[in-house]
Amino acid sequence: MVVRPAQLCLVRRWTEGKTISNELKGAADAAEGASNSRAFVITARAGFAVSGGLHILIGAIAMRLAFGKSGEADQGGAMSQLAGQPAGVFLLWIAFTACLALALWQLSETAFGHRQLQGKTRLGKKLSAAVQGAVYLVLALAFASFAVGSGKNSGQSTSDATAKIMQAPLGPLLLVAVGAAVAVVGIAFVVRGIKRSFTKKLALPAAGTGRSIVVAAGVVGYIAKGIVLVLVGLLFIIATVQARPKESTGVDGALKAVREQPYGLYLLSLLGVGLICYGIYQIIKARFARM
């Protein structure tokens, strides 16, 4: 039998393609193994604790605002306070490492996780992991920016970005869509808190005082965070409709808007307590999250 050059070329290409496929599979297996290593998972769990610490700081600032004191009750304000502490830069880099590890773990779940699920359930889980990965990646980059001294006022950055987008074609429509999306996420947080569905992601004891404390902190925390997100979304929409981008200042603007309402002192204090509860829940989640 005579083997023609064209046939030899096809065989060579098939062999090369199989080799590349095997190499990619090996790389994917190595990446999945690394994402499941004990050291990596422990570092990723610390990302939840970092997020919890931020929420506790934001909640504390919100309570101070309720009684007329100044401050930025948002991510930037909390990071700025952390940067001003002894060894603050060191703590910021630790927080960056933990959040980056958690972001990478969530992204690995997008790529390799939930294989036992099928259809829309699997897709939904992967999309959720991807969104959370993006959130923690942004958080990690924010910590890094404060660590190198280039951190910015979150509220001012948000209003500046809103103003630029508003001037773009279809910009106002995009901002309304973003505001609606944030508000929907906030509603989802409230529902999750009321239904206590967040407990599905935790490996908690079946009963006991410890479980009750965790569940109570989660319920209050999820509802409070959800309300804040709804307010942030509404601010985006109102600022866009009224063409006043300076009013779109994120979490800080939303909480300060609450302070100006009737009984604002009490409402803002309750939200501050709720955010602190959410922070406590996140710290507990670092220990009991299913990973």
Tell me: the pLDDT tens digits for 147-188?
Answer: 988 877 666 677 777 778 878 788 788 888 988 999 999 999
4 part of a folded domain: no
157 part of a folded domain: yes
Percent of the chain with pLDDT over 90: 44
251 part of a folded domain: yes
The pLDDT assigned to 20 comes to 53
Tell me: the pLDDT tens digits for 96-145?
Answer: 999 999 999 999 989 887 777 777 888 888 888 899 999 999 999 999 99
Query: In 3-state terms, what secondary structure has residue 202?
Result: strand
User: For residues 88 and 246, what is the distance between their CA atoms, to the nearest angstrom?
Assistant: 30
118 part of a folded domain: yes
Percent of the chain with pLDDT over 70: 85
23 part of a folded domain: no
- Identify whether the C-beta of residue 137 lies closer than 8 Å to the C-beta of residue 130: no
181 part of a folded domain: yes
- Identify whether the C-beta of residue 110 lies closer than 8 Å to the C-beta of residue 126: yes
Least Cα distance to 233 among 167, 189, 284 occurs for: 189
Domain that residue 49 falls in: 36-288
Residue 16 reports pLDDT greater than 60 = no
- Average predicted confidence (pLDDT) for the chain: 84
Q: Is the pTM here over 0.85, yes or no?
A: no
Tell me: the pLDDT tens digits for 19-50?
Answer: 555 544 544 444 455 556 889 999 999 999 99
Tell me: the pLDDT tens digits for 208-248?
Answer: 888 899 999 999 999 999 999 999 999 888 888 887 766 66
11 part of a folded domain: no
Number of folded domains in the chain? 1
270 part of a folded domain: yes
The per-residue b/e assignment along 253-286, b for 16 or more CB within 10 angstroms, e otherwise, is bbbbbbbeeeebbebbbbbbbbbbbbbbbbbbbb
